Structure 1
Amino acid sequence: MKFKIYSIIAAGTLGLTLASCKKDFLDKSPISQVTPDVAFADAAAAEKLIQGAYDGMYNDFHIMDFMTNGDVISDNCYAGGDNPNNAQLDKFTVTPTNSNVSRDWAALYKDIKNCNLITDNVPNIKDDKLDLNNRRTQIIAEARILRAYMYFHLVRLWGSVPLVLKTPSTAEEFQPAKASVDAIYAQIIADLEYGAANARVSGPNKGIVTKGIANALLAKVYATKSNPDWSKVQQYADATINGGYSLLGNYDFLWDSNHKNNTEAIWEMQYDGWGGPLGHGNWMPSQLFGAGWKKFNTPTNDLVALFNSEGDAVRKASSIFTDGIGWDDDYWKDNATYPHIHKYRADDKTDTYLIRLADIILLKAEALNEQSSGGWAQAKTLVDQIRNRVNLSGTPAADQASMRLAIEKERRLELAFEGHRWYDLLRTNRAITVMNAQKDGNGASLNYNVTPAKLLFPIPQSELDRNPNVR
């Protein structure tokens, strides 16, 4: 096929449209544009393709929607602010015209397109330099890990979606039908297994995908499938844990921006600010725009109460700060002070963790607990390791059922505002029970009325209009 033009979005035109101000925050031109005469010519072009795949991740989905999807939909955050699309997600009233839903779908499939350009074409580039030190294989492995990660989000958010594994060349391929959830997971696993076997052990920073990232994702994928394979979870969790990572001694070092690319980070988005050399800036809801900005993703009464009841002062101080800026918040309006997220405090240069070691340690604990009725004792050692770091005593859980809930709680407190909570509730089949039990600060039900039909996003209306095969 002859290609007219490929734009690999690096720090592309990102329009952050907020309902209250109707303003595009970011207007950045693409910095990696690939045209037919250079796209697939040599080793340098292959490196440009994989760099474009990485740079393409600096879009609204990975910059901010990961937290809205993981924490606002869950019991960790209210929507906050004044964006009606976020409010729909918060209240389980999402429609196919929700702009968050459509932009996330588009962003993930654009990332997949960038990966498919690599897997389609890098194997055929005739340049001996590309085979020095297995670089060709490494590039393909990185692309397949990235593609698996995008599909992992798609299948958890939408369920059955099109499985596009090559650049479309026919009318039919431009309107693909949905694949089964099992088929999507099978492809995710195949891509990650290839990545675990062929990716680099380490890169120049924690933003480059490696064997450790592939192993960590495999552990998470095997725990998330409709039929979890806990022995596989343990296998890949062990492979990750033994891959040279270690917990930081001080929990707050994870968030002070003085310890980027630390030993606990497995996969870390690299931000240098919108005005930096790379132009990779972050947008986080807590402090970036100062006291005069409406605060999005507001911590819930339920989460604040959990930190307090657990006596978890260390993680609460790192995760939440309070001030007098409430903006008539529906859930905190009777308070003199209001909670805000505190994990992202160094303006637009704050890195975010896609995966870190504590997540995988707790996932291994879960695998140990689920594999046998006596596994709780081994799981306790790992849970207590996480608790001891923040000066908490060991968990009192002393059987499989209580340990299951203890691990769920520990993951919530440890990983709050990192985009994991909703997916944890989904994979453990706890989402409906937990969300329908939510109350406001006065003990009144929030009346979410969650049903199985509300657990997944609707296909965006724009995609329904474009592709009748996804109906």
Structure 2
Amino acid sequence: MKISDLSKYIFLFLAVLGLAGCKEDFLERPPLSQLTDGTYYTTGEEVLQATAPLYNVVWFDFNDKSSFGIGDARAGNMISNDYNSFYQFSVAASNDRLIESWRSFYNVIGQSNMVMYNIDKSTKTTVPDNMKRHAIAEARFMRGVAYSYLVRNWGAVPIIDNNVKQMGDTSIARNTVESVWEFAIRDLRYAVKNLPAVSVAKGRINKYSAEGMLSRLFLVRSGVGATGGKRNQTDLDSAKYYAQDVIKNSPFSLMSSYPDLFMTKNNNNPESMFALQWVYNGEWGTQNTFQAYMAYDTKVTGSWDGWGAAHGASADYLKSVSPADSIRRKATFMLYGDLYKEILQKNGGLLYDRNTVANIKKYVVGTADDNDGKVTGMHTEVNTNMLRLAEVYLNYAESILGDKASTSDPEALKYFNMVRTRAGIPALSVITFDDIFKERRVEFAMEGNYWYELVRLYYFNPAKAKEIINGQDKGSYTVAIKPGTGTSASNPRQFVFTFTPVYYKVDDSTFWLPYPESELAKAPNLRKPPVPYKF
């Protein structure tokens, strides 16, 4: 059968999805008729249409502001007065970004559960069984990913696997961290078994998307319950197995140009294994708002938005990134004198001339003229990368390294160095955990990843994770070009920074986010010790 592009489904099914459901607390059960009237699914294509909103609108509240507030500000990559409570580790239970992220994750879970319920109850015999399993696999993939975010932000959280029985139950309890990880991994394993090797439409996940996600989840879980810093070898082996299968057999490949990964024209590129799919001219909640908040000036967007003048790279990030790593740095954060030819193209490009902050570039795509008309105020349709092949390469290298001090294994070096050399950085002949950890920070900065790397480290080496965070400079700085440099290609710019260091401490009590106060009021059992989930 011929399957249309995912964006078509997003348009068709927004009304059916019901945006009101995105604003409900997770304890409030969405009506079962929200996605279908009970007689809808008669073809495989109709079943696929039901899962399309799982690729954007249910993630909107997280992507809108929370993803970078948690993933980059809290992690120490980004500074901004708007998100200072995150990187100062003083987030209140009433914080809007906190509530939005919790709500979004449980909306993904609730809507995924609804899709599965409706497919089970409302699918005609004319729908091929493999298409039903395909849609359920997409829903379980999304649900598993949502739980992987919840557990890394809040620790023990309630597992909701049945909206009918559980949502609205104010006596619901938290489940243990071990239970949540097992539940998420089981969801992803189902997805591996029931998704096709090749995506049925551009932007849709496939078997290898799920395998790549499993390589991440097993690598993280390998540290859960670790003693003496030694991770679970079975989980490390599983991470290696799934990463290797992706690398050897999947249709994915690295893009040759790192900056091109974050341009609208390259949505769903060969490196993109799972990305949120946005449309610039759909209903509210279907667009990517990142540029509106992160672009430093209205001239960048060509519209009335562009409120990101105060958002930029942290001093710590600028101190940690090598001057030689200019390709990735420039594609992520702007420094004085950078020229971006892809923005304001009619004027020859955007020349960045600010020297008191390194503003954000990644996912800032420019004006409508720069994007075939597909930009309006607070609306772009550049994908949000949730999983790229580059991460699977690093997962593979790290799973081979395991708990050893270093490795010169040819396979580990090959794929680790493919990520580096694309960025114009020399290959290494021996790699350590710290090498891989730093590589992840630079490669995925402003993609909402680094906080979760710190959580992963905290699982098996909490002292080191806290040491890294407590040593991060989150103060102000100014930037200048070193006199006599930048005169030619053979004499590139060198930057001179003047830092005013500021540090904020984290401890075991502030490392995890607080539960939203609204949820604690409705479900007081969330204050009680977590219990194992009954599989």
The TM-score range, normalised by the shorter chain, is 0.7 to 0.9
Asked whether the equivalents of residues 211 and 243 of structure 2 are also in contact (C-alpha less than 8 Å), the reply is yes
Residues 235-283 of structure 1: CA deviation (Å, up to 9, x unaligned): 1111222311111111122123222211111112222314589953332
Q: For 1:141, give the aligned amino acid.
A: A
Residue in 1 aligned with 2:447?
A: 418
Query: Paired residues, what number?
Result: 430
Distance 2:195 2:279 in 1: 25
Alignment of 1:19-34 (within 5 A): 34=33
Residue in 1 aligned with 2:343?
A: none
Distance 2:212 2:269 in 1: 16
- Counterpart pick for 1:358 among 378, 387, 390: 390
- Partner-residue secondary structure (3-state), 1:341: coil
Residue in 2 aligned with 1:331?
A: none
Residue in 1 aligned with 2:27?
A: none
Asked whether the equivalents of residues 40 and 46 of structure 1 are also in contact (C-alpha less than 8 Å), the reply is no
Residues 300-352 of structure 1: CA deviation (Å, up to 9, x unaligned): 11212333x3411111121111469xxxxxxxxxx834211111122522222
Q: Residue 421 and residue 271 in structure 1: after superposition, are their counterparts in 2 closer, same or farther (change >3 A)?
A: same
Q: Which ranges in structure 1 are unaligned for 5 or more consecutive residues?
A: 1-5, 16-31, 325-334
- Partner-residue secondary structure (3-state), 2:278: coil
Residue in 1 aligned with 2:400?
A: 368
- Partner-residue secondary structure (3-state), 1:338: coil
Q: Residue 406 and residue 459 in structure 1: after superposition, are their counterparts in 2 closer, same or farther (change >3 A)?
A: same
Return the offset for 1:131. Answer: 1.8
Alignment of 1:387 with 2:420, yes or no, is: yes
Alignment of 1:300 with 2:326, yes or no, is: no
Distance 1:170 1:316 in 2: 46
Alignment of 1:349 with 2:381, yes or no, is: yes
- Counterpart pick for 1:281 among 278, 288, 294: 288
Greater shift, 274-283 or 64-73, is seen at 274-283
TM-score, length-normalised on structure 1?
0.83
Return the offset for 1:215. Answer: 0.6
- Partner-residue secondary structure (3-state), 2:294: coil
Residue in 2 aligned with 1:468?
A: 524
Return the offset for 1:160. Answer: 0.3
Residues 348-392 of structure 1: CA deviation (Å, up to 9, x unaligned): 222221110111101111111116556343333322211111221
Alignment of 1:87-102 (within 5 A): 87-102=84-99
Q: For 1:69, give the aligned amino acid.
A: I
Q: Residue 381 and residue 98 in structure 1: after superposition, are their counterparts in 2 closer, same or farther (change >3 A)?
A: same
- Partner-residue secondary structure (3-state), 1:428: helix
Alignment of 1:103 with 2:100, yes or no, is: yes
- Counterpart pick for 1:244 among 235, 239, 251: 251
Asked whether the equivalents of residues 11 and 58 of structure 1 are also in contact (C-alpha less than 8 Å), the reply is no
Distance 1:36 1:8 in 2: 5
Residue in 2 aligned with 1:312?
A: 325
Greater shift, 460-469 or 237-246, is seen at 237-246
Distance 1:277 1:14 in 2: 11
Residues 66-89 of structure 1: CA deviation (Å, up to 9, x unaligned): 2221111012111x1x43xx2211
Alignment of 1:233 with 2:255, yes or no, is: no
Aligned-residue RMSD, C-alpha: 3.0
Distance 2:168 2:284 in 1: 41
Distance 1:200 1:438 in 2: 44
- Partner-residue secondary structure (3-state), 1:412: helix
- Counterpart pick for 1:181 among 177, 184, 187: 177
Distance 1:56 1:99 in 2: 18
Return the offset for 1:298. Answer: 1.6
Asked whether the equivalents of residues 162 and 179 of structure 1 are also in contact (C-alpha less than 8 Å), the reply is yes
- Partner-residue secondary structure (3-state), 2:290: coil
- Partner-residue secondary structure (3-state), 1:353: strand
Residues 145-194 of structure 1: CA deviation (Å, up to 9, x unaligned): 11001101100110001001001347873541101111111111111111
Residue in 1 aligned with 2:468?
A: 434
Asked whether the equivalents of residues 69 and 419 of structure 1 are also in contact (C-alpha less than 8 Å), the reply is yes
Alignment of 1:260 with 2:267, yes or no, is: yes
Distance 1:340 1:128 in 2: 55
Distance 1:177 1:7 in 2: 33
Alignment of 1:155 with 2:151, yes or no, is: yes
Residue in 2 aligned with 1:62?
A: 63
Q: For 2:42, give the aligned amino acid.
A: A
- Partner-residue secondary structure (3-state), 1:266: strand
Q: Residue 76 and residue 69 in structure 1: after superposition, are their counterparts in 2 closer, same or farther (change >3 A)?
A: same
Asked whether the equivalents of residues 241 and 361 of structure 1 are also in contact (C-alpha less than 8 Å), the reply is yes
Q: Which ranges in structure 2 are unaligned for 5 or more consecutive residues?
A: 1-13, 24-30, 225-230, 300-305, 338-353, 367-379, 459-463, 478-497, 528-535
Q: Residue 63 and residue 277 in structure 1: after superposition, are their counterparts in 2 closer, same or farther (change >3 A)?
A: closer
Q: For 2:309, give the aligned amino acid.
A: K
Distance 2:428 2:317 in 1: 18
Return the offset for 1:48. Answer: 4.6
Q: Residue 352 and residue 206 in structure 1: after superposition, are their counterparts in 2 closer, same or farther (change >3 A)?
A: farther
Asked whether the equivalents of residues 95 and 458 of structure 1 are also in contact (C-alpha less than 8 Å), the reply is yes
Greater shift, 107-116 or 250-259, is seen at 250-259
Residue in 2 aligned with 1:76?
A: 77
Distance 1:171 1:436 in 2: 39
Alignment of 1:210 with 2:206, yes or no, is: yes
- Partner-residue secondary structure (3-state), 1:455: coil
Q: For 1:421, give the aligned amino acid.
A: Y
- Partner-residue secondary structure (3-state), 1:178: coil
Distance 1:62 1:219 in 2: 23
- Partner-residue secondary structure (3-state), 1:354: strand
The percent identity for this pair of structures is 23
Asked whether the equivalents of residues 32 and 118 of structure 2 are also in contact (C-alpha less than 8 Å), the reply is no
Return the offset for 1:462. Answer: 0.3
- Partner-residue secondary structure (3-state), 2:509: helix
Greater shift, 273-282 or 234-243, is seen at 273-282
Greater shift, 142-151 or 237-246, is seen at 237-246
